[in-house]
Structure 1
Amino acid sequence: MRRPLYLFPALCLLLVATACTSLGVVSAWLNDQVAFSAPQLQRQLDTRFPRTFDKLGGLVSVTLDEPRLTIPQGDRRLRLDFDIGVDGVGADSRPGHLALVSGLRYDPSTRGLHLENPELLQFGLPGSNALLQGGARGIVNSLLAEYARSEPVYRLDDDLLSKLPSGKSIGNVDVTDGRVVVHLAR
């Protein structure tokens, strides 16, 4: 008995659609790179904040909240803005603002993209005097260095890493054309 021919195009379409969903990740590695957009990185950041860090033996707590990641067109670094709260002697309870720019690097131990050479752009705490502002700035700089060393901005998922071509590993990470591009190396 002959099968109706109208099912053949539907079957082909279904096969193509299934192949496209699994090729998305693989096709990225075919060019020895994969790119991430700011919204992709933002989604992971949103799940990991607010974060509180104790400094000076617990005398001061710094809370980072509401991360906002942008990749300015034409820039080679990404920008991160946070609401910042400092809890300690003489600190105002209202949130301040912290902005930084940074490159990215890959760390195989965390399987993540970490800040590289973060540069503090803006730092302000409401109601603080210059002395507290300067001391808090030092604490924030040490916090940024610690965060860059240990915490990824974006963690590569196991599915993506399992599809690395044989003999290749993660190489340089560039911020270019409004995207984060992870290159492969031999």
Structure 2
Amino acid sequence: MRTAVVVMSLALAAIVIAGCSTLNTFGSMLSSQVTFTQPQLQRSLDRNFPREFDKLAGLATLRLEKPGLSIPYDSNRLRLSLNASAVTGARAEPRQLGRILITSGLRFDPQTLGLHLQDPVIETIDSAGGSLNDASRELINGWLAAFAIEEPIYRLDHELVQRLVARRIGAARIDNGVVVLDVSQ
């Protein structure tokens, strides 16, 4: 009998540990919020980068890679860093622009079913070659504006969307180191 209790306890613990991320989402579905953690968002970014974006009517291509995301506990904005390089018609080899650090809020877009950057700001660009010229800075700012509108940093998975189908998805916000998506009946 005692062995059966121990085996059942171990089996239950294994199930809880294995389903930890879905348990968090499922538990939050019982309330009026769904939460997303930094590792969930980071995995999504890792799957979607590196990326290339044609800019300036095809005269330049911006390549972004190695995303790093953090969600400070005491802030309502996340931090996203990316390595940036540019390829132009005048130069076959990519020109390293540096590491970009962006801070941003988040918004939910019902069209993409994703979390998008909201009011992103380039905080720093650490460039190995010194400061960026105006054309490089314009290239990065143009990408950031378009990316925030068109591309989610995280897309809700099909299973979660199915659970939310009868609910209204509201605002996304960053609170205490996690992303919170408000939902209502």
TM-score in same-fold range (> 0.5) = yes
1:138: how far off?
1.3
Letter in 2 for 1:85: S
Change in Cα spacing, 1:23 to 1:127, as seen in structure 2 (3 Å) is closer
Q: Deviations over 1:92-145 (max 9, x none)?
A: 633511110001111111110000111111124433665xx2221112111111
Contact 2:24 2:35 in 1 (8 A): no
Q: In structure 2, what is the equivalent of residue 37 of structure 1?
A: 37
Q: How does 1:100-139 map to 2 (within 5 A)?
A: 100-127=102-129, 133-139=133-139
Contact 1:83 1:97 in 2 (8 A): yes
Change in Cα spacing, 1:72 to 1:9, as seen in structure 2 (3 Å) is closer
Aligned equivalents of 1:124 and 1:8: distance in 2? 57
Structure 2 regions of 5+ residues with no counterpart?
A: none
Aligned residues: 180
State the percentage of identical aligned residues. 36
Aligned equivalents of 2:38 and 2:48: distance in 1? 16
Change in Cα spacing, 1:185 to 1:125, as seen in structure 2 (3 Å) is same
TM-score (norm 2): 0.83
Determine whether 1:185 maps to 2:175.
no
Q: How does 1:148-167 map to 2 (within 5 A)?
A: 148-164=148-164, 166=166
1:169: how far off?
1.4
Aligned equivalents of 1:178 and 1:10: distance in 2? 36
The structure whose Rg is larger is: 1
1:12: how far off?
8.8
Aligned equivalents of 1:162 and 1:17: distance in 2? 26
Q: In structure 2, what is the equivalent of residue 87 of structure 1?
A: 87
Q: Deviations over 1:138-170 (max 9, x none)?
A: 12111111111111000111111211273x211
TM-score (norm 1): 0.82
Q: In structure 1, what is the equivalent of residue 174 of structure 2?
A: 175
CA RMSD of aligned residues (A): 2.8
Determine whether 1:147 maps to 2:147.
yes
Structure 1 regions of 5+ residues with no counterpart?
A: none
